[in-house]
């Protein structure tokens, strides 16, 4: 025993010395040799494991062939590290064998250099961090009447389709994931994921609805970022985000959303009968590490998920990769798509500024966020007759009565309390209950609310504990870009977000509140009443592109050069979305301890598309990922409920929000229309070889770098990246005339399509042929020719429309910028 302790100490000393020599970090290493997904034979003693990328057949990961070849790769990883370094001077974290051939390892920068020069090593990348891109929507999208009946009703919508969530875990006991009120779930033979055991309850996380639950934290632990007390060393959601996204995509139908004694409606996932597979790789405080996320994706595809939802994006560009499409994250997702998995990713929350997207690659469905038709409003009526608008999901003060207004700073127990930012109303113990009781407490919205150290929930709790009739939270100065969301509270309350209205409130209070020469209040004479803000107002000007939703143009490299590929791909609801929450989740301070949360982000938009894709996969089980993406895009809409062109929330000169005409850089092809997506008429299909061709044709992309990540040579080019067969056309540098081609495949009855196009005046557009007839299953090519008429220095927008004789409409957006040379 003593010797073992000494040996362990010796190893620790060596490792500590390495840390001093150069701080150990996590590196993702890729090696020569094919991963399981693309191995076609050639290694003595190991038969091919790849399947033809054009076939519907999936790799059988349980076969002896696959198991032995995967084991062979892992042995090679271990042998390489053992050959180069002494035991104890490094720590291998993961072996990646299925989608990429490589491993994640914790070692010093000096060792990483040695590793990079070793034979058979293709790339060594320092790991980088990722972050989260943080119920009415089934009705808004027309699912209950238009889509669910075609799949056998809500109780069969998404049956036997498995959606994998790489997120912050799940709270398995939530009613959105319960099975006791539904038909029994049978086994899903194609899915092979496992269920971890909760170390506290000793029960596993699965129940038939949840079919897999695993967590990935080895990189986070190696980096010293993981805290088991708050991050939970299990698939349990310690954040709330993962439970929320899973419920949006696949939560049970008709779950009452109750908070503070009020029912805000009934929540449902897009595909209520779909199964949930959890791959926890995100954590509350630090987000996550790419090494953990890649391991989670690799496992999910190995386990047999149909759809992968990623409400996650990189914090910053990877250090060593020049091309946005070529990094371990996107390369792994390319292999996932090759395996037949439909990958959905949130666009990012950096809007409304251009080039803020965090999802770049053509094999991924990139989702922007829309504001749907619900708006929550409330009002404060003052004693002088003025009515001030605000927000808060709250009951009203008693009808036909006004209440005295008392400011927090005027009801302090003693002057020493001033050091606690008392105007935030976060600490009831510093305020005088005798002066607050029965009155409306006036509080100030400070920077503490922006950074999350103060919350509206806590203001409500303070007011309630002091016996207040209600509270008002006034925003006196807002930093540009501050987003105010309504929050449910149990007592009357309102957040006055407009600074000018807050000034009116404060002026009225000061005029009505006499003070002595020291500034102390002699009597409180200001009065007011709070309206009811529990019910939404439905607007016809929906959907709109949300202010925070990341915008294009897409970029092809990290020097922000424009790409010849349109992103985002599609728009889906992502603002003020009600869904399940983990009671121990702390991602949103206003929902700590609650069972539901109403939050916003492209994180919320992505699972809408994942759930709708599950409905499409259920109806068309043999459709490829690109076919599903094409059907979603070509059937989307660019008009709102009032039959006007979509608008985007944007900043005007004074940094107040305004609405401007939206473009494909805001919404991609348009807002999702699930009913039409189930019957698109035509699809634009593309496979692994096409994506390789796109990479090999993109200017500035090194063929050697492509080979490093894909194990494939550049034998095939498209002539120009704009020729990739996507349901959109983007040409970032158009000189003179350029013709691009597209191929469509008929997935309906025989139909004749008339092809037309329109474009902004600076660029002429023509299509050829003018019409074509396609039999079921047939494919036909058409071309689109763009010619520069005038150079404006801005992008021109347009569209190509294929109108079918049986009523199908297939629309693809076109963006181009003209140059003289």
| Angle separating helix axes 688-697 and 328-338, nearest 10 degrees | 150
Q: Report how far apart the first and last C-alpha atoms of the chain are (Å, whole number).
A: 76
Query: Angle of helix 64-84 relative to helix 109-117, nearest 10 degrees?
Result: 120
C-alpha span between 402 and 528 (Å, rounded): 5
Q: What average pLDDT does this structure show over 426-432?
A: 92
CA atoms in the 13 A half-sphere facing the CB of 700? 16
Residues 94 and 90: their CA atoms lie apart, in Å, by 13
Per the CB < 8 A criterion, the answer to whether 337 and 688 are in contact is yes
Q: Which helix (H) or strand (E) holds 4?
A: helix 2-21
List the structure tokens of 424: 């935030």
Q: What is the C-alpha to C-alpha distance for residues 550 and 563, in angstroms, rounded to an integer?
A: 16
Q: Are 819 and 793 in contact (CB under 8 A)?
A: no
pLDDT value for 477: 76
pLDDT at residue 445, as a whole number: 87
Predicted TM-score of the model (pTM) = 0.87
Task: Supply the mean pLDDT for the chain.
Answer: 86
Q: Which of 413, 395, 333, 424 is nearest to 130 (CA)?
A: 333
Q: Which residue has the tokens 């609650």?
A: 594
Cα angle 725, 727, 733; round to 5: 75
Buried b (16+ CB within 10 A) or exposed e, 406-415: bbbbbbbeee
Q: Is the pLDDT of residue 147 over 80?
A: no
pLDDT band at 372 (very low <50, low <70, confident <90, very high): confident
Do β-strands 527-530 and 403-407 pair in parallel, antiparallel, or remain unpaired? antiparallel
Closest of 687, 673, 678, 574 to residue 628, by C-alpha: 678
Count of alpha carbons within 13 angstroms of residue 715, beta-carbon side: 5
The rounded distance, in Å, linking the Cα atoms of 633 and 315 is 27
- Which tokens in the block code for residue 639? 């008009």
Residue 136: per-residue pLDDT: 38
Q: What is the pLDDT of residue 349?
A: 85
Q: Which residue has the higher pLDDT, 679 or 581?
A: 679
Per-residue pLDDT band for 7 (boundaries 50, 70, 90) equals very low
pLDDT of residue 370: 93
Cα 389 from Cα 494, distance rounded (Å):
9
Q: What is the pLDDT of residue 22?
A: 53
Mean pLDDT on 161-169: 94
pLDDT tens, 102-130? 999 999 999 999 999 999 999 898 888 77
What is the predicted pLDDT for the residue at 132? 67
Backbone torsions φ then ψ of 70, nearest 5 degrees: -60, -40
Per-residue pLDDT for 651 more than 50? yes
Which is nearest to 734 in space by CA: 630, 814, 648?
A: 814
Which tokens hold the place of 45? 């003693």
Sequence length of the chain is 821
Instruction: For residue range 245-273, list pLDDT tens digits in order.
Output: 999 999 988 888 887 777 777 888 889 89
Burial 170-184 (b: 16+ CB within 10 A, else e): bbbebbbbbeeeeee
Q: 10 Å Cβ neighbour count for 563?
A: 25
Q: Which two tokens stand for residue 796?
A: 């021109």
Is a pLDDT exceeding 70 seen at residue 695? yes
Q: Which of 264-268, 478-482, 716-720 has the lowest mean pLDDT?
A: 478-482
pLDDT of residue 539: 64
**pLDDT at residue 362, as a whole number:** 96
The answer to whether 107 and 89 are in contact (CB under 8 A) is yes
Q: Provide the token pair at 471.
A: 């509270």
| Nearest partner of 166 among 280, 274, 69, 246, judged by Cα | 280
CA distance 48 to 41: 4
Residue ranges of domains in the chain, CATH in brackets: 25-126 (3.30.70), 136-373+541-678 (3.40.50.200), 378-533 (3.50.30.30), 687-718 (no CATH), 725-819 (2.60.40.2310)
Strands 470-474 and 493-496: parallel
Query: What is the percentage of the chain residues whose pLDDT exceeds 90?
Result: 54
Mean pLDDT of the 79-92 span: 93
Confirm whether 244 is a catalytic residue: no
Between CA 795 and CA 803 the distance in angstroms is 26
Residue pLDDT, tens place only, 9-52: 333 333 333 333 357 899 999 999 999 988 989 999 999 888 76
Name the helix (H) or strand (E) containing 775.
none
- 666 pLDDT more than 90: yes
For residues 662-687, average pLDDT:
95
pLDDT for res 14: 35
The arithmetic mean of pLDDT across residues 682-699, rounded, is 94
The catalytically annotated residue of 176, 460, 603, 669 is: 603
Checking if the pLDDT of 146 tops 60, the result is no
pLDDT in tens, 512-565: 999 999 888 899 999 999 988 777 776 666 789 998 899 999 988 878 889 999
- The catalytic residue among 174, 241, 671, 808 is 241
Rounded-to-integer distance, Cα 546 and Cα 501, Å: 24
Cα Rg of the chain (Å, integer): 28
The mean-pLDDT minimum among 265-274, 352-361, 467-476, 578-587 falls in 578-587
**Is the pLDDT confidence value at 752 over 50?**
yes
pLDDT digits (tens, 9 = 90+) for 211-241: 999 999 999 999 888 988 888 999 999 888 9
Confidence of residue 483 (pLDDT cuts 50, 70, 90): low
Band (193; pLDDT cuts 50, 70, 90): very high
Eight-class DSSP state of 148 = G
Least confident of 375-384, 471-480, 616-625, 772-781: 471-480
Predicted local confidence at residue 2, as pLDDT: 32
Q: If you write DSSP's letter for every residue of 429-477 in order, what string do you get?
A: GGB-HHHHTTSEEEEE--HHHHHTSS-HHHHHHHHHHTT-SEEEEE-S-
Q: CA 674, CA 666: separation in Å to the nearest integer?
A: 20
Contacts of 772 (CB under 8 A, 6+ apart): 752, 753, 755, 780, 782
pLDDT at 656: 66
Q: How confident is the model at residue 634, as a pLDDT?
A: 97
CA distance 358 to 568: 10
167 a catalytic residue: yes
pLDDT at 153 over 80: no
Instruction: Decide which of 797 and 658 is more confident.
Output: 797
Query: Which is more confidently placed, 165 or 418?
Result: 165
Q: Quote the pLDDT of residue 558.
A: 79
3 pLDDT more than 80: no
Read off the pLDDT of each residue in 346-350 and give the average, rounded to a whole number. Answer: 88
Residue 600 appears among annotated catalytic residues = no
Query: Tokens at residue 687, please?
Result: 């496979």
Q: How far apart are CA 659 and CA 644, in angstroms?
A: 13
What is residue 9's predicted lDDT score, i.e. its pLDDT?
Answer: 35
Most confident of 404-408, 417-421, 495-499, 576-580: 404-408
Task: At 514, list the tokens.
Answer: 């006499």
- Looking up tokens 């890649």 gives 294
Structure tokens at 729: 């056309």
Worst-scoring range by mean pLDDT, 28-37, 358-367, 484-493? Answer: 484-493
Point out the catalytic residue in the list 167, 557, 587, 685: 167
pLDDT exceeding 70 applies to what percent of the chain?
89
User: In this structure, what are the phi and psi dihedrals at residue 704, rounded to the nearest 5 degrees?
Assistant: -65, -40
For 569, residues 6+ apart whose C-beta sits below 8 A from its C-beta are: 365, 366, 367, 629, 632, 633, 668, 669, 728
Average pLDDT, stretch 706-732? 90
Among residues 799, 777, 756, which one has the least CA distance to residue 627? 777
Are the C-beta atoms of 496 and 472 separated by less than 8 Å?
yes
In the predicted structure, residue 374 carries a pLDDT above the cut 70 = no
Buried b vs exposed e over 543-553: b needs ≥16 C-beta within 10 Å? bbbbbbbbbbb
Which of these, 201, 184, 123, 192, lies nearest to 164 by C-alpha position?
Answer: 192
């Amino acid at each position: 025993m003593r010797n073992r302790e000494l040996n362990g100490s010796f190893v620790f000393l060596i490792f500590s010395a390495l840390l001093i020599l150069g701080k150990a970090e996590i590196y993702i290493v890729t090696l020569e040799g094919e991963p399981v997904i693309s191995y076609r034979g050639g290694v003595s003693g190991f038969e091919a494991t790849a399947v033809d990328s054009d076939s519907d057949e999936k790799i059988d990961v349980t076969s002896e062939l696959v198991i032995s070849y995967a084991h062979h790769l892992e042995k090679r990883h271990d042998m390489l590290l053992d050959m180069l370094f002494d035991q104890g001077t490094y720590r291998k974290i993961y072996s990646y064998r299925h989608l990429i051939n490589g491993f994640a390892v914790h070692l010093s920068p000096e060792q990483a250099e040695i590793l990079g020069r070793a034979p058979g090593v293709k790339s060594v990348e320092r790991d980088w961090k990722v972050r989260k891109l943080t119920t009415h929507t089934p009705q808004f999208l027309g699912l209950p009447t238009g889509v669910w009946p075609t799949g056998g009703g809500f109780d069969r919508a998404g049956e036997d389709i498995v959606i994998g969530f790489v997120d912050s875990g799940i709270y398995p006991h939530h009613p959105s994931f319960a099975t006791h009120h539904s038909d029994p779930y049978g086994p899903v033979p194609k899915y092979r994921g496992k269920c971890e055991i909760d170390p506290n309850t000793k029960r596993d996380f699965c129940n038939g609805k949840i079919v897999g639950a695993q967590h990935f934290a080895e990189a986070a632990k190696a980096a010293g970022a993981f805290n088991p007390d708050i991050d939970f060393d299990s698939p349990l959601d310690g954040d709330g985000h993962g439970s929320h996204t899973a419920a949006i995509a696949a939560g049970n139908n008709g779950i009452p959303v109750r908070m503070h004694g009020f029912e805000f409606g009934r929540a449902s996932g897009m595909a209520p009968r779909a199964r949930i597979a959890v791959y926890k790789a995100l954590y509350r405080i630090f987000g996550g590490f790419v090494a953990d996320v890649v391991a989670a994706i690799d496992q999910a595809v190995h386990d047999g998920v149909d759809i992968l939802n990623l409400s996650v994006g990189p914090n910053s560009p990877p250090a060593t990769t020049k091309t946005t499409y070529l990094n371990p994250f996107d390369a792994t997702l390319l292999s996932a798509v090759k395996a037949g998995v439909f990958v959905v990713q949130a666009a990012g929350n950096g809007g409304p500024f251009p080039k803020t997207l965090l999802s770049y690659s053509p094999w991924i469905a990139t989702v922007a966020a829309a504001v749907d038709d619900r708006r929550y409003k409330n009002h404060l009526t003052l004693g002088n007759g003025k009515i001030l608008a605000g927000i808060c999901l709250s009951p009203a003060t008693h009808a036909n009565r006004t209440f005295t207004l008392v400011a927090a700073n005027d009801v302090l127990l003693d002057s020493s309390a001033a050091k606690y930012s008392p105007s935030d109303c976060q600490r009831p113990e510093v305020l005088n209950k005798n002066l607050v009781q029965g009155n409306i407490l006036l509080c100030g919205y400070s920077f503490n609310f922006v950074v999350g150290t103060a919350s509206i929930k806590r203001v409500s709790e303070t007011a309630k504990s002091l016996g207040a009739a209600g509270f008002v939270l006034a925003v006196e100065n807002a930093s540009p870009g501050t987003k105010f969301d309504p929050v449910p509270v149990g007592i009357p309350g309102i957040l006055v977000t407009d600074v000018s209205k807050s000034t009116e409130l404060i002026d009225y209070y000061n005029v009505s509140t006499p003070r002595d020469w020291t500034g102390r209040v002699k009597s409180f004479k200001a009065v007011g009443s709070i309206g009811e803000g529990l019910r939404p107002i439905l607007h016809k000007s929906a959907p709109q592109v949300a202010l925070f939703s990341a915008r294009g143009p897409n970029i092809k490299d990290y020097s922000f050069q424009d790409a010849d590929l349109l992103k985002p791909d599609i728009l889906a609801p992502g603002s003020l979305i009600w869904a399940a929450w983990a009671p121990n989740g702390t991602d949103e301070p206003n929902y700590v301890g609650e069972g539901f949360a109403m939050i916003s982000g492209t994180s919320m938009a992505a699972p809408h598309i994942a759930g709708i894709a599950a409905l499409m996969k259920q109806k068309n089980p043999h459709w490829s990922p690109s076919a599903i993406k094409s059907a979603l895009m070509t059937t989307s809409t660019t008009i709102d409920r009032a039959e006007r062109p979509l608008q985007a929330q944007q900043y005007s000169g004074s940094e107040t929000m305004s609405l401007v005409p939206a473009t494909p850089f805001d919404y991609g092809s348009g807002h999702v229309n699930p009913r039409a997506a189930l019957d698109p008429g035509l699809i634009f299909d593309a496979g692994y070889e096409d994506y390789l061709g796109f990479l090999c044709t993109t200017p500035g992309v090194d063929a050697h770098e492509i080979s490093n990540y894909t194990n494939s040579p550049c034998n095939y080019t498209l002539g120009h990246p704009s020729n990739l067969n996507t349901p959109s056309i983007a040409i970032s540098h158009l000189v003179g005339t350029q013709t691009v081609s597209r191929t469509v495949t008929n997935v309906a009855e025989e139909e004749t399509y008339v092809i037309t196009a329109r474009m902004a005046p600076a660029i002429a557009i023509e299509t050829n042929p003018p019409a074509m007839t396609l039999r079921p299953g047939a494919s036909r090519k058409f071309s689109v020719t763009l010619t520069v008429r005038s150079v404006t220095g801005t992008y021109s927008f347009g569209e190509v429309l294929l109108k079918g004789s049986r009523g199908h409409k297939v629309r693809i957006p076109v963006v181009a910028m003209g140059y003289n040379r």
